[in-house]
Amino acid sequence: MSLPSEISAPRAPDGTHPDVGFFGRPLFEDPSARALSRVGVVDVGSNSVRLVVFDGAARSPAYFYNEKIMCALGAGLSDSGVLNPQGRVRALSALRRFQHLAQGMGLPELTVVATAAVRDASDGPAFCDEVKRETGLRIWVIDGEEEARLSAQGVLLGWPGSYGLVCDIGGSSMELAEISDGRVGRRVTSSLGPLKLREIKGGKKGRQVHIKETMNRLHDAMGPQPDRLFLVGGSWRAIARIDMLRRGYPLHVLHEYRMTARSVSATVKYIQQSDIDELRGACGISAARMSLVPLAAEVLSRLVKIFKPKDIAISSYGIREGMLYEQMPQRLRDRDPLIESCRFAEAKDARMPGFGKSLYAFIHPIFKSAPPPRRRLIKAACLLHDVSWRAHPDYRAETCFDNATRANLGGLKHSERVFLGLALLHRYSNKRQGTRFEELYDLIDDKTKLEAEILGKAMRFGAMLWMTQDAERGTLRWFPKKRQLQLRLTPDMVPLFGEVAEARLMSLASSLDAEVEIKKLR
């Protein structure tokens, strides 16, 4: 592939990037990052053809446009050796449409990659020539190891510095890649895609023998992989939806959804015992995708038994996000996707962009003993505390919660989404009871709910004390052993400490179970 090369940023003497940090210079304002603010990629797979246009903060991009057309290019390939004729017609039509859409969006070009079906079919080159002739689009046909590498990079886009095994399943192939310390290691490809498994001789017994033998070879090639298993691909996401249904899981966000070996086993049995059409309707899965799910479930069952991961995470990021990651300068890759996304949202939507940093500094004394993962969420909350101000006041708290729990934010576990959502809800409301989200609250324990409440009330109070970033501000002091919260007001701040501000301070103190002391400085 002829994609832009990596750009390296100079490092400080200690080996760190000088601009890395929660409140360092925002890289989305840098020209090299802004060049990535709108990128269009197309993935021509064995089962579907999808266009994704990324837009926004680059490091944690928003999906400006996302369209998938199920073409089944790889259907019957094992027997015929050629692409599915009907699939070719549909894929060409999809690519013609995508090219017109890209031109309408003002995109300079689309990057198009094709995977297993096109690379394996004898008429794959002819199809690429036809696409070039009809649309002007050049298709980059990548091999299995390159597909594995790009999918793994997509995971790294959402989980920087993560480690484990990435498994990407498509229609005609399944790839594995190892990731560690932000890098992609060993990679291997196989023919364990559901479209090809349909064509294995010997029925279910013959198919399971083939899956077992192939999986054993993959394990020999990759070695032990006892860490996290990241699942990439539409069939895996469909199985995750079914797992959510079986469990009655309330937060229907697939990215970062977690499963265990036991839950995988239970869900595979659930699929086998269920009426497929009823299950499809209950989960909102397309008929074309659902037809592949039972076969993919057999693969997943064997994958988990062979590799024995410590836990399993669904990744909505894959090859398309990996193509974007490929184009990022290293200093952008090093950034936290959550914080970059929140900073971009603040710069775009807050009434006072940059105020989140001041708010964090003001409330920090209450949370100075918080561990780094919690401080990260506190900083994210401060950046987002005002981005929903346009919502109607009666619904602002619920809008904040909804945005935090369901928005396209990378690097967030589901429990962290709920914590962040509750904190932002309490930024606008003292109470959380009576909302339509109460079933989600149980994804975190009571102690964490209280911490989110305290954070929200601290932001609610802090936001009242000044309206300029450079004003001389008051300070908070927190003495947990004495359960005392001290507010020290500068002369400029005294007029701002009115009745509403005082009521909000008392509400914060109540959640802290603290006494309040107010000192007016001279």
- For residue 482, give the nearest of 510, 514, 511, 507 by alpha carbon: 514
| Helix H or strand E encompassing 289 | helix 287-290
In angstroms, the CA 458 to CA 68 distance is 43
pLDDT value at residue 470: 60
Question: Does residue 131 share a domain with residue 208?
Answer: no
pLDDT tens string 282-320: 999 999 899 999 999 999 999 999 999 999 999 999 999
Give the HSE-up count for residue 304: Cα atoms under 13 Å, Cβ half-sphere: 22
Question: Within a domain: residue 23?
Answer: no
What CA–CA distance (Å, rounded) separates 107 from 111?
11
| pLDDT for the residue 398 | 92
Average pLDDT over residues 157-178: 93
Q: What is the pLDDT of residue 73?
A: 94
Of 22-26, 305-309, 381-385, 402-406, minimum mean pLDDT range: 22-26
Mean pLDDT of all residues in 268-290: 95
CATH number of the domain bearing residue 93 = 3.30.420.40
Mean pLDDT throughout 323-329? 85
Neighbours of 307 (CB within 10 A): 22
Say if residue 251 is in the same domain as residue 379: no
Q: pLDDT: is 325 or 303 the higher one?
A: 303
The residue-averaged pLDDT of 319-325 equals 89
Report if residue 14 sits inside a domain. no
Within this chain, do residues 228 and 128 fall inside the same structural domain, yes or no? no
Nearest to 463 by CA among 422, 511, 428: 428
Tokens 């394996």 sit at which residue? 120
Q: How confident is the model at residue 34 (pLDDT cuts 50, 70, 90)?
A: low
Q: What is the CATH number of the domain that holds 152?
A: 3.30.420.150
Q: Is the pLDDT of residue 60 over 90?
A: no
Q: Are residues 364 and 480 in the same domain?
A: yes
Closest CA to 168 of 187, 151, 185, 184: 151
Calculate the alpha carbon distances from 77 to 45, 71, 118, 196, 289 in Å: 13, 13, 10, 8, 18
CA angle 355, 423, 453 (to 5 degrees): 120
C-alpha R_g of the chain: 25
Question: Over 80: is that where the pLDDT of 24 sits?
Answer: no
Specify the higher pLDDT residue, 488 or 182.
488
The structure tokens listed for 77 are: 């390939």
Over residues 98-107, mean pLDDT: 93
Q: Which range of residues forms the domain containing residue 267?
A: 145-321
Query: What's the pLDDT score for residue 63?
Result: 84
Asked whether the beta carbons of 325 and 166 are under 8 A apart, the reply is no
The pLDDT value recorded for residue 3 is 35
Q: In the listed set 111, 142, 173, which residue is the last one of a domain according to the structure?
A: 142
Chain-centre distance of CA 493, in angstroms? Answer: 40
428 domain residue, yes or no: yes
Both 136 and 149 in one domain: the answer is: no
Q: What angle do CA 388, 393, 396 make, to 5 degrees?
A: 40
Domain end, chosen from 142, 166, 198, is at 142
Give the least confident one: 77-81, 137-141, 189-193.
Answer: 77-81
CA distances from 305 to 145, 226, 300 (A): 23, 11, 9
User: What angle do the packed helices 446-462 and 355-363 form, to 10 degrees?
Assistant: 120
User: In this structure, is residue 9 part of a structural domain?
Assistant: no
Tokens 């100075």 belong to residue: 368
pLDDT, tens digit, 9 for 90 and up, residues 477-514: 999 999 999 999 888 788 888 999 999 999 999 999 99
- 3-state SS, 177-204, equals EEEECCEEEEEEEECCCHHHHCCCCCHH
Position 4 in a domain: no
Name every residue whose Cβ is closer than 8 Å to that of residue 314 and which is 6 or more positions away in sequence: 230, 231, 236, 237, 240, 254, 255, 256, 257, 258, 259
Three-class secondary structure of residue 366 per DSSP: helix
- What is the per-residue pLDDT for 37? 66
Length of the chain: 522
Residue 62: pLDDT band with limits 50, 70, 90: confident
User: Above 50 in pLDDT, residue 324?
Assistant: yes
Q: What is the pLDDT of residue 19?
A: 35
Same-domain check for residues 120 and 154: no
**pLDDT score recorded for residue 22:** 47
Are 299 and 344 contained in the same domain?
no
In a shared domain, residues 110 and 124: yes
Beta-sheet strands, E only, within 258-321: 258-259, 311-315
* CB burial readout 110-141, b (16+ within 10 A) else e: bbbbbbbbbbbbebbeebbebbeeebebebeb
pLDDT for 113:
94
Token pair in block for residue 139: 């298709």
The pLDDT assigned to 26 comes to 47
In a domain, 214, yes or no: yes
Per-residue model confidence (pLDDT) at position 411: 84
Token pair, residue 419, equals: 């914590």
Question: What pLDDT score does 466 carry?
Answer: 67
Q: What angle do CA 467, 473, 475 make, to 5 degrees?
A: 130
The pLDDT of 136-157, averaged and rounded, is 94
In a domain, 489, yes or no: yes
Q: Are residues 51 and 112 in the same domain?
A: yes
* Same domain as 164, residue 303: yes
* pLDDT confidence of residue 346: 92
For residue 272, the SS3 value is: helix
Which residue, 96, 126, 142, sits at the end of a domain?
142
What does the pLDDT read at residue 340? 86
Instruction: Kindly report the number of other CB atoms within 10 A of residue 250's CB atom.
Output: 16
Phi, psi angles (nearest 5°) of residue 197: -65, -30
Q: Which residues contact 431 (CB under 8 A, 6 or more apart)?
A: none
Q: What is the mean pLDDT of residues 136-152?
A: 94
The pair of structure tokens assigned to 376 is: 């990260």
CA within 13 Å, CB half, 510: 11
Report pLDDT digits (tens) over 208-259: 999 999 999 999 999 999 999 999 999 999 999 999 999 999 999 999 999 9
Predicted pLDDT at 27: 40
Tell me how far apart the alpha carbons of residues 170 and 277 are, in angstroms, rounded to a whole number.
22
Predicted confidence band of residue 1 (pLDDT cuts 50, 70, 90): very low
Question: Are 177 and 264 contained in the same domain?
Answer: yes
Number of compact structural domains in the chain? 3
Mean pLDDT of the chain: 89
Is position 180 within any domain? yes
Residues 155 and 298 in one domain: yes
Average pLDDT over residues 116-121: 93
- pLDDT of 467 higher than 90: no
Rounded alpha-carbon distances, angstroms, from residue 350 to 7, 203, 353, 355, 448: 31, 59, 5, 9, 27
Cα(492)–Cα(473) distance, integer angstroms: 7
CATH number assigned to the domain comprising residue 468: 1.10.3210.10
